Amino acid sequence: MNMCLVKVMMMIISYIYYCLFMITLVHSQIIDECIEGRCGENEPTIRFPFRLKGRQPPHCGYPGFDLSCNNDSNQTILHLPNLHLKLHVKKIDYQRQSILVYNPNCVHKQNWKFLNLSISPFSFGGSCMLLNCSSNHSTDKVLLSSPIPCLSNTKYSVYAMYDSNYPSNIWRDVVSCRRMYQNLPISSGIFQSNSSLGWSKPNCTHCEVKGEKCRLMKRPHDHDLMNNIDQIECYNDNNQTIKKGGPSQIPLVTAGSFVIILGFLASTFYVYHFRKNTRQNGLRIEKFLEDYIAFKPSRYTYADVKNITSEFKEKLGEGAYGEVFKGKLSNDIFVAVKILNSVSNGNGEDFINEVATIGQIHHVNVVRLVGYCADGFRRALVYEFLPNDSLDKYISVRGPIDDINVCSLSWEKLLDIVLGTAKGIEYLHQGCDKRILHFDIKPQNILLDHNFKPKIADFGLAKLCSKDQSIVSMSTARGTIGYIAPEIFSRNFGNVSYKSDVYSFGMLLLEIVGGRRCNNTDEIYYPEWIFNLLEEGEDLRIYIDEGGDGKIAKKLAMVGLQCIQWHPIDRPTMKVVVQMLEGNEELSMPPNPFSSTNQSKQSTKMPQRFMTTMELETITE
């Protein structure tokens, strides 16, 4: 029995030796076939992921990276069948994974409408638009680049411009021009002279920085080569290149390979599962990157907006800014589309504020801008859809029970909501390159997702400033009465700064504790009423479900009173506010925020102050 096993093992080992010997010979031939080359003396070096089509077999290059040589001029040619272009290759940067090309011919109009760059392995450096400009307006040409000769004539000139100029230059009037095509997914350099193309797959950067080269791991005898094109490996050209007909290296390579094969056979099961998990992780990362690209704000036409909203079929709400409709993108993601009316459009400042601020914010507690529309005089903003409406719908009175306010959300859930809101405001103040001041924090602008996680919305009144700028210039008040800090009305109380948002957040907390909106002049002034109750050591006269609810309500009240101190210097930062809301320590009684305006303490039973909620007109600064 043992002899049979020995014979079987010897047969297996002999077979392995034979296979390894053949692999070594084939390997030496592959290396010779894939040796780097060039079309001419001054032409760029061609190696993986590129190959010279017709001179090297397919396994020497990556699919889609085929180059050819012009027999007449010895120039290196890159053929892009999806653009019907043959580009001259001037330089290949393997470390940065970019290729510099020159287009000697014109890109024909009939090809633009049928661009399908998803099948191209190269990225074209963003998107561009084509402008048709009459030649008798020289003032416009200063704003534009050189015209495209093959598309221009004596009557008009055609220009290519990057779409990235928008929306920052969206209001620039180029009076003699009209748009021919917009959002062409190619670089404007394709229409003129030199253009740089990049590629992300295969990623050989880690090989190049080590001074090594890379290649496909699979060999031509593998039937699944095209299904495993992502698998590449680094190799050292000095040590691993085996010259054809060099048998002196074969025994060494065979012995080393035999040891590796035995180790591989002993750990096949482990490697199988490891590779399976690695592939799944790679797919997960790829899906994330695709989603990330999809999350960047997109520009839509008005026709797109009508299609997304099914001709404005389902209306979600309406305000001074315009109407909001529910919509669905092509990938079945629901969105909320805000159609700006002529009043909110104005000179475009609110629209620019929204796109310029929220378009660059990525935070779990800030609503995401999916896209925007600026089609002539029509403007719209496309947001992620949040099914649970805004916070003000959940803190209004549900019904009086002996003068006790009943809230539709538990106090624990309300604490989670205000904590998330505070973190969102803190991110706006400290987490971005520039400090973002919202200037309109109120329950109506705190939207709730399906899990009642809060997201700050409506950045139409927002203002950007540097983090080292402690004072913000403002020519007129902005915000909602009842939530506006005193210094916005009068500089006698202090300078306008990020502490103004802290004041608005404090009023939001006190409105939650009061349990009702502040838009009825018959209501008592809750902030002062709450302060008087706490100062006299009385319980807050609110509805609670559980024993811990009273502590939560008192915490919100104490933090809110600290945030609405009359002078900005006495208010905490949002970072400190988050710490107070997260902490378990007993908070000390804040100073009286109303002592500056009225020294006499009002009765806890019948405070006489009132407040209303109304939008202030926004004036251009």
Per annotation, catalytic residue among 140, 440, 458, 549:
440
Helix (H) or strand (E) holding 233: strand 232-235
Q: What are phi and psi of 326, to 5 degrees?
A: -85, 140
Is residue 614 within 8 A of residue 481, CB to CB? The reply is: yes
- 554 annotated as belonging to a binding site for a ligand: no
> Of the candidates 161, 148, 255, 162, which has an alpha carbon nearest to the alpha carbon of residue 193?
148
Helix (H) or strand (E) holding 621: none
* Cα–Cα distance for residue pair 64/531, rounded to 1 Å: 71
Interstrand relation of 369-375 and 298-300 (parallel, antiparallel or unpaired): parallel
Would you mind telling me the total number of residues written for the chain in this entry? 621
614 CA to centre of own chain: 33
Residue 163: active-site member:
no
Side chain identity at 290, as an amino acid letter?
E
* Cα–Cα distance for residue pair 257/238, rounded to 1 Å: 18
Q: What are phi and psi of 342, to 5 degrees?
A: -65, -30
Burial class of 2 by CB neighbour count within 10 A (0 to 12, 13 to 18, 19+): exposed
Is residue 151 within 8 A of residue 158, CB to CB? The reply is: yes
Is residue 563 within 8 A of residue 581, CB to CB? The reply is: no
Match 């680094």 to its residue by tokens: 234
Question: Strand, helix or coil at 391?
Answer: helix
**How is 326-358 classified by DSSP, letter by letter?**
EEE-TTS-EEEEEEE-HHHHTTSHHHHHHHHHH
329 CA to centre of own chain: 17
* Cα–Cα distance for residue pair 423/7, rounded to 1 Å: 72
Active-site annotation, residues: 440
Annotated binding site for ATP: 338
